[in-house]
């Protein structure tokens, strides 16, 4: 059991580093309209991924060949969730939670906008430990308002660890839950949504990306679908959860949310992957990004 746990931690760290590598490579795009805004992503890369960053033109070309749409989806997802966070802050959010934060850098990139607000990064202890080492080594200061919340999902409940860390249920909160849902069984997705709905103030928001249920069921007709499932299976993380096309609003309504936006491939491409020369880069056809708001009476 101990060995299995160590293996899981190792997989989580490597998976987070792979995603950071996509963002780091994208940060060097010459076309400003296609540039990933995560200027801190490369600070979390080890030697192997730093080599890939130096060979970024070849790496990007190979990634697009092996996993069509993956690279550009990561760009679109990063930029879109940045926009959703900014919109939430404009609308008076007082607290921000990054669930399964990995090497997300928004607590640092948005430190000025987040000043005076409570910010939490929730993840496995091993991933957080390495993240802190990388930040210290590269001279990136940890904001005073940021709390690292370690969790063992096999033994602890999200609400217990967050409340113990100072999460305030009375404050309107933005939850970012990026790159996670498709790896979880539906009951785990429902449990997180239940926590957000019952423990956060009315008007709180959650943003997450999700896979279409048709792909989970074996329909590989959308762009890049077959390759992304092959990649998931190769690293031992099969797709478990999806939402049926057109059913997102109904699904989230049953969990007490109102959908604010639900962007699929066409919308993401139109907003984020059209270059200066007018050519649009394709993103994964099986992924969408939704933002929903807690819809119930305010706490008294």
- Burial class (CB within 10 angstroms; exposed 0-12, middle 13-18, buried 19+) of 92: exposed
Q: Is the dihedral of CA 159, 250, 216, 41 positive or negative?
A: negative
Give the pLDDT confidence score for residue 120 in this predicted structure. 98
> Is 239 a domain residue?
yes
Vertex 122 angle, CA 118 and 123, to 5°: 160
Please, are residues 95 and 127 in contact by the beta-carbon 8 Å criterion? Answer: no
Give the pLDDT confidence score for residue 11 in this predicted structure. 58
Cα–Cα distance measured from residue 169 to residue 175, given in angstroms and rounded to the nearest whole number: 13
Vertex 127 angle, CA 126 and 128, to 5°: 90
**DSSP 8-state assignment for residue 190:** H
> Is 249 a domain residue?
yes
Cα–Cα distance measured from residue 272 to residue 282, given in angstroms and rounded to the nearest whole number: 10
* Helix, strand and coil percent figures for the chain, each rounded to 5: 50, 15, 35
Q: What is the residue range of 252's domain?
A: 69-294
> Is 282 a domain residue?
yes
Number of domains in the chain: 1
Helix (H, G, I), strand (E, B) or coil at 285: coil
Cα–Cα distance measured from residue 126 to residue 189, given in angstroms and rounded to the nearest whole number: 23
Q: Which of 255, 253, 269 is nearest to 76 (CA)?
A: 269
> Is 46 a domain residue?
no
DSSP 214-244: HHHTT---STTHHHHHHHHHHTT------B-
> Is 172 a domain residue?
yes
> Is 34 a domain residue?
no
Give the pLDDT confidence score for residue 154 in this predicted structure. 73
> Is 135 a domain residue?
yes
- The distance of Cα 36 from the centroid of its chain, to the nearest Å, equals 14
Give the pLDDT confidence score for residue 299 in this predicted structure. 47
Give the pLDDT confidence score for residue 6 in this predicted structure. 38
pLDDT per residue, tens digit, the chain (300 aa), is: 333 343 345 555 678 899 999 999 999 999 999 999 999 999 999 999 999 999 999 999 999 999 999 999 999 999 999 999 999 999 999 999 999 999 999 999 999 999 999 999 999 999 999 999 999 999 999 999 999 999 987 788 999 999 999 999 999 999 999 999 999 999 999 999 999 999 999 999 999 999 999 999 999 999 999 999 999 998 888 999 999 999 999 999 999 999 999 999 999 999 999 999 999 999 999 999 999 999 875 444
- Provide the CATH number for the domain around residue 148: 3.40.50.150
Give the pLDDT confidence score for residue 153 in this predicted structure. 76
Q: Where are the alpha helices (DSSP H) in 91-238?
A: 106-109, 111-114, 125-137, 158-164, 186-199, 213-216, 225-234
Return the residue matching tokens 């950071």.
20
> Is 80 a domain residue?
yes
Phi, psi of 208 (to 5 degrees): -155, 155
């Amino acid at each position: 059991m101990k060995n299995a746990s160590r293996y899981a931690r190792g997989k989580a760290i490597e998976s987070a580093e792979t995603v950071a590598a996509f963002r780091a490579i994208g940060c060097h795009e010459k076309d400003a309209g296609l540039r990933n805004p995560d200027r801190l992503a490369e600070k979390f890369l080890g030697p192997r991924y730093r080599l890939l960053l130096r060979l970024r033109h070849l790496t990007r070309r190979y990634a697009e060949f092996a996993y069509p749409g993956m690279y550009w989806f990561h760009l679109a997802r990063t930029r879109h969730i940045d926009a959703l966070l900014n919109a939430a802050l404009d609308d008076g959010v007082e607290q921000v939670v990054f669930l399964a934060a990995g090497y997300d850098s928004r607590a640092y990139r948005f430190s000025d906008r987040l000043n005076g607000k409570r910010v939490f990064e929730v993840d496995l202890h091993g991933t957080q430990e390495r993240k802190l080492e990388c930040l210290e080594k590269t001279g990136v200061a940890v904001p005073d308002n940021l709390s690292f919340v370690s969790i063992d999902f096999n033994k602890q409940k999200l609400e217990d660890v967050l409340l113990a860390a100072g999460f305030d249920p009375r404050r309107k909160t933005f939850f970012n839950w990026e790159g996670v849902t498709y790896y979880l069984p539906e009951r785990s997705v429902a449990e997180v949504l239940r926590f957000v709905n019952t423990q956060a103030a009315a008007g709180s928001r959650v943003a997450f990306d999700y896979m279409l249920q048709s792909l989970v069921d074996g329909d590989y007709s959308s762009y890049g679908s077959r390759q992304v499932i092959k990649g998931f299976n190769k690293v031992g993380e099969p797709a478990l959860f999806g939402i049926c096309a057109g059913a997102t609003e109904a699904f989230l309504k049953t969990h007490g949310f109102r959908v604010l936006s639900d962007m699929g491939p066409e919308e993401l491409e139109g907003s984020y992957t059209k270059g200066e020369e007018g050519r649009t880069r394709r993103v994964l056809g099986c992924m969408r990004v939704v933002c929903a708001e807690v819809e119930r009476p305010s706490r008294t």
